[in-house]
Structure 1
Amino acid sequence: MKAALKTADGRFEIADVDVPIIPASDFVLARVRVAGICGTDLRHWKKAEPELECHIVGHELAGEVVEVGEGVVNLKPGDRVVIETVMGDGICEYCNIQQYNICEHLYDVRTKFVSRAYGEFVCGPEKKFYKLPDHVSFEEAALIDTFSVCLHAHHLGQVSVNQRVVIIGAGPIGLGQLQLAKMSGADVLITDLVGSSLELAKDLGADATVEGGQDALIKRVMDFTGGRGADIVFECAGGESMPETLPLATKLVRRGGKVVVVGGFDSGEIAIPLAWQRIQMSEIQLIMSASFAFHGIYPEQGMVLEMLSNGKLNAQKLITHRFGLDQINEAFETANAKDETGAVFVAITIS
């Protein structure tokens, strides 16, 4: 099969590799139709990472079943599916209580099986494959992973009616967070450095938007919240901006409020000075959100699929650019230069 392999300098090269083999009776082989580029992917772009060299990566994908193991009961060849890529080892104490998103072996397992979106075929257990209704396109389905990350953070933040919510970052995660907060009856202010992303945020229901500038943002948030500060701040930028955005989030939140960290950190120890006395004396909660798993008895990815199918979430408006697999480096350049290109969600047609 054709696949994009990571190179020594963190880019991609197209190569022919072996098609995955079904390793167990409950596994499914699917042809990938569409994959996406997210913030996590961009944090690895053009970085020399020997552990990823010659590997297939990518974790936002949808496709079509081509083969099933003898123990598979709910899927058949031809079924259109979205693939969940949060997959733990299945045997640890966290996996046993459906908190596999914090499994110690999460990345080892997911990258071996389901987290290989930039290749023509992917293989994984049946429980990670969700059937798509005919009216949900592969492109829209590729955003279900993103929205599932948002839903997990939404659950942790416990967003409710009439709250004042601030979102830092208007990329796919921030715009997904916006939609969920509005669905729950909150008033939402969202901020970003890219004007085109904020225009989209307005179209998706944002009550207020702020483009750049900490001082102006702090004043605007205080005006928005009656001088109290936000009930909940979602940090959705992450990466290299975290040393600035995390302290900012703690300045925007009210006493007794919550800061939910959704944007990803880079690896290693990172020193980020915070006003810890204010955080402690104000009982501000810092909540870390990682991927997604289950909410009660319901898989969060399944919940998102249902909301998307019912028209409660809008994925189509977030899709700004489309490329073929052979153009994957151009696709990443476009996604990475969003201030110039206006990119939000970049879709890659695999096959």
Structure 2
Amino acid sequence: MKAALKTQEGTFEVREVDQPELPGPDWVLVRVRIAGICGTDLRHWRKHEADLAGHIMGHELAGDVVAVGDAVSNVAVGDRVVAETVLGCGHCEYCRARQYNICPDLYATRRRTVSRAYGQFLVAPASHIYRLPQHISFEEAALVDTFSVCLHAQHLSGLTINDRVAVIGAGPIGLGQLMLAKASGADMLIVDRVASSLAVAQDLGADLTVNPEEDDPVAAIKAFTGGRGADIVFECAGGTSMPQTLPLATQMVRRGGKVVIIGGFDAGVTEIGLEWQRIQMSEIQLIPTASFAWHRLNKEQGEVVELIGKGKLDAKRLITHRFPLDRINEAFACGEGKAQTGAVFIAIEM
């Protein structure tokens, strides 16, 4: 099969590799049709990481089933599906408690099988396969992973109707967070430096958009909430901006409010100065989130497929660019230069 492999320099080389085989009777072979590029992928772009060199990457995908093991009953050959790429070891105490998103061996496990979306085929356990309604396109379905991250964060936040909410970062995660919060009855302010991203946020129902290069987000949220501050702030930017955006989130939230940390950190120690006395005396909660898994009786990725199917999440509005697999490096450059290209979600056609 054709696949894009990470190079020592952190770009991609497209070449022929062996197609994976079913590892057991309860596994499924999927022909990937669309893969996406997320913020985590972009943080690893053009970055030397010896442990990733030569590996197939990618974790946002949709495709169709081409083979199933003898024990599989929930999907059949020919079904259009999403494969969930958050896969734990399956036997540790966290996996047994259905919190496989914090499994100690999560990344090593998923890289061997499901987290290989930039290849034409991958294998996944049948428990991590979701059949798609016919009216959901492969491109829309490739955003299911993104929205699942957002849904998990909203579940942890306790967001409810009439909350005043701020989102920092108007990438796919931030815009997905906006859509979910609006669907739940919240009033929304969103912050970003990219004008085209803020325009999308307005189209999706943001009550107020703020460019921090033009206006003060803290003053904006105070005016938006009658001087109180946000009930919940979702930090959705992450990466190298976190030393600025996390302190900003704690300044925008009200006393007794919550800051939900979704944007990712790089490995190692990240030095971030915060007003810890104010955070403590105001009983501000800092809530880290990691991917998604289960919420109560439901798998969060299955809930997202249902939400898109019902029209409660507008995945189509986030898809701005499409590239064939052979042009994956160009696709990543497009995502990196979103201020110039207007990129939000980039679909890789496999």
Whether TM exceeds 0.5 here: the answer is yes
Match of 2:5 in 1: 5
1:215 CA drift (Å): 6.2
Counterpart for residue 89 of structure 1? 89
Q: Output the CA distance in 2 between the equivalents of 1:73 and 1:249.
A: 46
Q: Which residue of 1 aligns with 2:110?
A: 110
1:208 aligns with 2:227: no
Output aligned runs, 1:32-181, within 5 Å.
Answer: 32-181=32-181
What amino acid does structure 1 have at the position aligned with 2:109? V
Aligned to 1:302: 302
Distance of 1:343 and 1:197 partners within structure 2: 8
In structure 1, the partner of 2:244 is 244
Structure 1 CA distance, aligned partners of 2:243 and 2:229?
Answer: 20
SS in 1 for 2:216: helix
- Per the alignment, residue 278 of structure 1 pairs with 278
What letter matches 1:123 in structure 2? V
Residues 106 and 214 (structure 1 numbering): CA distance in 2 closer, same or farther, change over 3 Å? farther
Q: CA deviation at 1:305?
A: 0.3
Aligned AA for 1:47?
K
What secondary structure is seen at the aligned counterpart in 1 of 2:322? strand
* Partner SS state of residue 242, structure 1: helix
Give the distance between the partners of 1:3 and 1:261, measured in 2 at CA.
Answer: 33
The equivalences for 1:268-347 within 5 A come to 268-347=268-347
2: CA distance, partners of 1:64 / 1:286? 40
SS in structure 1 of the partner of residue 114 of structure 2 = coil
- Report deviation, 1:214: 8.5
Q: Distance in 2 between matches of 1:68 and 1:163?
A: 45
Cα deviations across residues 103-139 of structure 1 (Å, max 9, x unaligned)?
Answer: 0000011110100000000001001110011100000
Structure 1 unaligned segments of length 5 or more: list them: none
Separation in 1, partners of 2:219, 2:35: 40
Using the TM superposition, give the Cα deviation of residue 217 of structure 1 relative to its aligned residue in structure 2, in angstroms.
1.3
Amino acid at match of 1:112: R
Give the match's secondary structure for 2:111. Answer: helix
**Shift of residue 260 of structure 1?**
0.1
For 1:23 and 1:203, the matched residues in 2 are separated by 45
Percentage identity across paired residues of the two chains? 64
Matched, 1:192 2:192: yes
Amino acid at match of 1:321: H
**Any unmatched runs of 5+ in structure 2?**
none
- Displacement after TM superposition at 1:213 (Å): 3.4
Instruction: Deviation per CA, 1:130-180: give whole Å up to 9, x if none.
Output: 001110000000000000000000000111111110000000000000011
Aligned to 1:348: 348
- The two structures, once aligned, show a CA RMSD in angstroms of 0.8
Q: How far apart, in 2, do the equivalents of 1:265 and 1:214 lie? A: 27
Supply the AA of the counterpart residue of 1:28.
Answer: V
- Mapped to 2, the partners of 1:105 and 1:43 lie a distance apart of 21
- Output the TM-score relative to the length of structure 1: 0.99
Amino acid at match of 2:307: M
Amino acid at match of 1:186: A
1:97: Cα distance to partner? 1.0
* CA distance in 2 between partners of 1:184 and 1:215 (Å): 27
Distance in 1 separating the partners of 2:211 and 2:244: 15
SS of 1:199's partner is: helix
Structure 2 Cα separation of the partners of residues 216 and 253 of structure 1: 14
Superposition deviation, residue 73 in structure 1: 1.1
TM-score, structure 2 as length reference: 0.99
Provide the rounded CA distance (Å) in 1 between the counterparts of 2:264 and 2:30: 29
CA distance in 2, matches of 1:15, 1:296: 43
